[in-house]
Amino acid sequence: MTSEPVFPPPTPTRRARPLWPLIVGTLVVLFAISGGIAFAIVKFAGSATPQASASPAAPTAFMLAGTMVLSPSEFGWTRDPWNCWGRGGYDDIREGTQVVVTDADGKTVAVGQLGKGEPKAESTRCEFVFLIAAVPEGSQFYAVEVAHRGKVQYPRAELNSAITLSFN
């Protein structure tokens, strides 16, 4: 008995598919999409009638920035962390105290809060900054009230700069 080498049966070779159908199909899709875009541009851009240029719209809201200031007899403070707060009859003045803005009709139009109290000028005053981002335009006068300490009224034009509130 002669021994013949055993070889596995030949595997069928796979014939490469031609790429031209894929290329043609891709080109057809791209032409269809670009044709649709061109049609939409011509159809809708051509139908718009030019209008006279209007002046830019006035802002519908403004930012109100301010500082609430306490004098030495009205606050306590610490160095670590550097912080101050109202004390005695002013203990409602502290970080997070509500700041309310009303319009000329007395309607509340915006609400914010005091930031962290910071001792200033060698601790001769305590300052709380507040920013109210979206006070609606439309009133000639606005009132600002911290806690329930009474409203301070301002003409709208004065609120383009930061305001300072105090009890003095």
Sorted by where each starts, the structural domains of the chain and their CATH numbers stand as 61-166 (2.60.40)
Q: Which amino acid is at 149?
A: R
Lowest mean pLDDT among 44-53, 90-99, 120-129: 44-53
Q: Indicate whether 1 pLDDT > 60.
A: no
101 in Cβ contact with 113 (< 8 Å): no
pLDDT at position 82, please?
85
Mean pLDDT value of segment 36-55: 52
Structure tokens given for 115: 């930031």
Radius of gyration of the chain (CA): 36
The neighbour count for residue 84, using CB atoms within 10 Å, is 24
What torsion, rounded to 10 degrees, do the Cα atoms 22, 23, 27, 30 define?
60
Q: Within 13 A of 56's CA, how many CA atoms are on the CB side?
A: 3
Place of tokens 């030019």: 50
